């Protein structure tokens, strides 16, 4: 495989390439071109977050520095789903009580979670609904509130507690409020029609009371298969009376969805992102954000301990940036199938205050992408001659650094990169690869661009995997 990257530029660029994970290359030469002189740049838009999930209630027990590893990979927002104490029906325990009376709410356990997140400098992404524990038992009224209008008030008062200080509450830096989670997988046990009413009622009411928040949902598990909670829900929001008059369109700041099994190829993520984008556009929600609030390279399996899983994570992050997804939240961060493992998970020692999070390949891949994005904030358009190759490019503000990140499962390939850079400039080049131990330097060299600004680099490896190529002008 020969890769040619060419540019007519006077500035430097960062190039991030991801090769197809579910099939081989169709051409022996992959040409990638960009123009960093005449092309308009734009900032990277993707924000990355995560789900602490079932262990979220321990955030105050594990010590202040425990979650530094999460922030080190570029994650600063935590979604509050699958934390049992955050379930609405455990906060508002008596459905027949007055939802406007603060005495009818018990925020004690939920406050501990939210305080822990904020104390450790995370921004909470507030999910309103129920966790897996309620879904598994189909706990009522948790999975099926009897009245949409009343539940909208309850949901809004929970929001008010955390952003307005209601009921001896707080003014936390919450930006996003997500209504429900996976209504298509037993987290909601009513009918799709009833859910639409519940969703729309709470969406309108929360947004009216908190216009500065971004309000949306519904965290659908499978947009491709479950149309009642996908395309038809968006259609209903756009025209709730089905009269062809969109003047009563429901405001929708974001639509959220989930996807797993990225080991089948990042094209799975692309498919879901494309379906969501098409539906939003079709029904006039041009400015509505697309958020993936749960994703992982696979469901629980030994595969998640492999370097290939890290390659899949890198590929998915590229796909999210390329296809206009504005936020993406990995699930779960801390668990046997998460980004971070705890050696004594499942033992009595696990409940003690001090634990150490161990990075796996997925965490290292996430950090590699996060570092690239933060170090090269000016994104450049690319032209590629192969539809199976995804790429992202950007440049540094001082025009002195080139970085590349390559993701490929292709075996026994020669890598050749030809770059147009600054004329007659010396560069220090570092080659790094993802291994089971992290990101390791495998080769260093010094090169000088030719008179016309060209640089040629080559490297032989049995597998590219996830590779970082860093060029620094000196």
Q: Is the pLDDT of residue 225 over 50?
A: yes
Cα gap 310→465, rounded to integer Å: 9
Relative to beta strand 454-473, strand 14-18 is unpaired
pLDDT of residue 387: 64
pLDDT band for position 8 (cuts 50, 70, 90): very low
DSSP annotation of 183: G
Q: What percent of the chain has pLDDT over 90?
A: 54
Contact criterion met (CB below 8 Å) for 368 and 434:
yes
Cα gap 344→334, rounded to integer Å: 12
The 10s digit of each residue's pLDDT in 180-194 is 999 999 999 999 999
Partners of 438 in the β-ladder: 435
Q: Is the pLDDT of residue 57 over 50?
A: yes
Q: Is the pLDDT of residue 343 over 90?
A: no
Question: Residue 2: in which H helix or E strand, if any?
Answer: strand 2-7
Task: State the pTM of this model.
Answer: 0.91
In order, the DSSP letters of 23-64 are S--S-SEEEEEE-TTTSPPEE---EEEEE-GGGGGGTTTS-T
Longest dimension (CA), the chain: 79
Helices and strands per DSSP (H, E), number in the chain: 10, 21
Encoding tokens for residue 109? 């356990």
pLDDT of residue 345: 63
Q: Is the pLDDT of residue 330 over 80?
A: yes
Closest CA to 267 of 18, 49, 45: 18
User: What are the chain's domains?
Assistant: 2-44+378-473 (2.60.40), 47-375 (3.20.20.80)
Closest CA to 152 of 208, 114, 218: 208
Per-residue pLDDT averaged across 213-218, rounded? 97
């Amino acid at each position: 495989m020969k890769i040619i990257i060419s540019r007519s530029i006077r500035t430097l660029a960062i190039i991030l390439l991801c090769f197809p994970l579910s099939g081989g290359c169709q051409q022996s030469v992959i040409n990638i071109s960009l123009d960093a002189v005449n092309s308009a740049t734009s900032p990277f838009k993707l924000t990355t977050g995560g789900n602490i999930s079932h262990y979220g209630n321990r955030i105050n027990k594990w010590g202040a520095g425990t979650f530094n590893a999460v922030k080190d990979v570029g994650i600063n927002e935590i979604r509050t789903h699958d934390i049992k104490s955050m379930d609405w029906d455990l906060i508002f325990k008596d459905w027949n009580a007055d939802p406007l009376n603060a005495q009818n709410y018990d925020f004690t356990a939920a406050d501990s979670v939210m305080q822990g997140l904020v104390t450790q400098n995370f921004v909470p992404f507030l999910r309103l609904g129920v966790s897996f524990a309620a879904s598994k038992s189909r706990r009522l009224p948790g999975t099926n509130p009897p009245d949409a209008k009343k539940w909208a008030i309850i949901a809004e008062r929970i929001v008010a507690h955390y952003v307005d200080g209601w009921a001896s509450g707080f003014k936390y830096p919450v930006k996003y409020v997500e209504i429900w989670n996976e209504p298509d997988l037993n987290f909601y046990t009513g009918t799709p029609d009833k859910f639409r009413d519940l969703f729309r009622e709470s969406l309108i009411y929360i947004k009216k009371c908190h216009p500065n928040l971004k309000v949306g949902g519904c965290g659908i598990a499978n947009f491709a298969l479950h149309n009642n909670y996908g395309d038809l829900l968006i259609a209903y929001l756009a025209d709730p009376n089905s009269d062809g008059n969109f003047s009563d369109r429901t405001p929708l700041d974001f639509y959220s969805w989930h996807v797993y099994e990225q080991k089948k190829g990042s094209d799975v993520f692309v498919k879901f992102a494309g379906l969501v984008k098409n539906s939003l556009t079709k029904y006039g929600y041009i400015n509505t954000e697309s958020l993936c609030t749960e994703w992982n390279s696979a469901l629980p399996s030994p595969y998640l301990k492999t370097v290939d899983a890290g390659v899949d994570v890198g590929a998915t992050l590229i796909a999210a940036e390329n296809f206009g997804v504005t936020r993406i939240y990995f699930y779960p961060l801390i668990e046997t199938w998460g980004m971070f493992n705890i050696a004594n998970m499942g033992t009595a020692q696990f409940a003690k205050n001090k634990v150490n999070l161990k990075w796996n390949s997925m965490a290292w891949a996430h950090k590699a992408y996060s570092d690239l994005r933060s170090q090269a904030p000016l994104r450049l358009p690319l032209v590629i001659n192969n539809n199976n190759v995804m790429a992202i490019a950007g440049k540094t503000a001082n025009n002195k650094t080139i970085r590349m990140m390559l993701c490929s499962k292709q075996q026994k390939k020669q890598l050749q990169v030809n770059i147009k850079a600054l004329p007659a400039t010396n560069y220090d080049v570092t080659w790094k690869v993802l291994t089971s131990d992290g990101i390791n330097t495998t080769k260093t060299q010094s090169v000088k661009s030719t008179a016309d600004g060209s640089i040629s680099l080559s490297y032989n490896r049995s597998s590219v995997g996830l590779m970082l190529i860093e060029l620094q002008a000196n």
